Chain A
């Protein structure tokens, strides 16, 4: 039960600025995603929260209290590392109960906690095995169990399910969401998968080169990205961004004067009769179909419901759903629509 705040935190490794003047508020009991490409500073944020790294500037607060001089063990934050970091010389059971044994808990209490968490994660039958004899998914669960077993103020997870196959990943993240709600604890979750971030997070921060570009709920960020960068990071296929000179041909209304680029999500692009663009590609995906379009040499993507009858090479007209156009200035920053 704790909020986590960053106040102008900077962390450098030699000449590399890993975290650049980050101010961030993660409220209590949130499922908060740190989202961004690899090496954008997300993992460093976790290390700073854990106390494994010290900030070069700024301040980190857990539950409103500065933690600069608090050791990792005393911060009482649990972590699932990206590479899991299980203890190879111990069995799964010894791994899971390690945090409790190290904290000198009563044996009965340990037994009860371990039984509870291993049941939640369905790993009761593999507890006698060392990590080497477990499958990737089982190791993942053991690592998560080791984090969940004690009663920390917050859980941190560094892309913990990236090694699983797509279906297992979906199951696990739903389960994580359920467990997080049950536990009622803050969970800070690092991912580079936008679908993962969008589907489970209450709040998220989008990172670029150690800076936070935007924070908010996934819905907020999706509907009102503050820059072409954030717009491009969320949503698949990504938002189409095209220069205004081209955009005016799609009869976009209300374009602000400063607008240099128009952004339009593939699902907000309407394909109809006309001669404006040419279809280059048709990808039927079952419930919907993705079209590749060429508008005077600029590639666009459109997502349509169902399986409409289009063929590659066909000429079509394009318009934008009213009120769904995003405008960006020359620097890539969003301009609020009137």
Chain B
């Protein structure tokens, strides 16, 4: 099909606009992470797209090394919050995926629970704040405040509905005959699930897990309420990177943001191959 030149120009202009909208904040963050203090503190006119004197000072700073021109001392370094985020988000995702997948399978195959599963999303109906107050009290009672496992547990509970609904649609779409075939060919229900259903669901599990992980990884509110000192997570820690003398420590925040972006990106790349493959491609006759 022949398209006119003006249409092509318009098309590329639109593409670049959208690209810019989505990429500029990212580029800005990456650039800022490597700028020395003088460059990111510069007001207005002096701002540059790229660092003129690239430096790793911001990274050194958040990990507690001197070498920065900043005259603020950090209460905490970034190492511990990174560990807290990794533990809480990973185990929270694990809890959500195991519970959500089992529940989704039970409902999709056996109608387990009847209408009860709708109640799963009720936690999402209320504003998070309203739910979190009672949770804070319960967690305090259970001694789970400011622990990574306390955080992981609430992450698992809060994101389970997502993994549940995602996995349910995948299970609903999977042809029953494939499981029936395995049953007839000598498998028990459990073996069918382990040998046939789960391997077939790998792309679905991977994409749901990534989604849930990102939700947990980027949570601010829950971590803010349930952690105090030892196990604050990256977002909470990031918010604390400011001082009365210098204001927001943008360079340090950008450096931390860059580090925080690494796990989801790695996960995304790792499962990319799974995502492009169809779920049951080739199992059935067309």
Contact = CB atoms under 8 A, between A and B. Distances in A.
Interface of A: 47, 50, 52, 72-73, 77-79, 81-89, 98-99, 102-103, 130-134, 136, 139-140, 146, 150, 163
Contact of B284 (A73, A83, A103, A133): A83
Contact of B181 (A79, A130, A131, A136): A79
A99 B181 CA distance: 10
Contacts of A98: 182, 185
A131 B282 CA distance: 5
B48 interface: no
Q: How large is the interface on B (under 10, 10 to 19, 20 to 34, 35 or more residues)?
A: 20 to 34
B65 interface: no
Interface of B: 175, 177-178, 180-188, 191, 196, 199-200, 202, 279-286
Given A50-B180, A79-B181, A102-B191, A85 B283 contact: yes
Contacts of B196: 87
B184 A78 contact: yes
Nearest to A137: B285
Nearest to B183: A72
A98 B202 CA distance: 20
Given A52-B183, A73-B186, A89-B200, A83 B175 contact: yes
A89 B180 contact: no
A65 B77 CA distance: 74
B282 A88 contact: yes
22 contacts: A50-B184, A52-B180, A52-B184, A72-B183, A73-B184, A78-B184, A79-B180, A83-B177, A85-B181, A86-B178, A86-B283, A87-B181, A87-B283, A88-B283, A98-B182, A102-B186, A102-B187, A130-B282, A131-B282, A132-B281, A132-B282, A150-B185
A85 B175 contact: yes
Contact of B283 (A50, A77, A131): A131
B185 A82 contact: no
Given A52-B183, A73-B188, A132-B281, A85 B177 contact: yes
Contacts of B199: 89
A163 B286 contact: yes
B185 A99 contact: yes
A79 B196 CA distance: 17
B183 A73 contact: yes
Given A102-B186, A163-B285, A87 B180 contact: no
Contacts of A136: 285-286
B202 to A, nearest CB: 8
Contacts of B186: 73, 99, 102-103
A133 B191 contact: no
B185 A102 contact: yes
Given A82-B177, A83-B177, 12 more contacts: A72-B180, A72-B184, A73-B186, A73-B187, A83-B285, A84-B283, A85-B180, A86-B181, A87-B181, A88-B280, A98-B185, A163-B286
A84 B175 CA distance: 11
Contacts of B188: 73
Contacts of A81: 177, 180-181
Contacts of A52: 180, 183-184
Q: For the complex of A and B, list the 5 residue pairs with the smallest distance between their C-beta atoms, beginning with the closest.
A: A132-B282, A131-B282, A85-B177, A88-B283, A102-B186
Contacts of A83: 175, 177, 284-285
Nearest to B191: A102
Contacts of B178: 85-88
B214 to A, nearest CB: 26
Nearest to B280: A88
B286 to A, nearest CB: 7
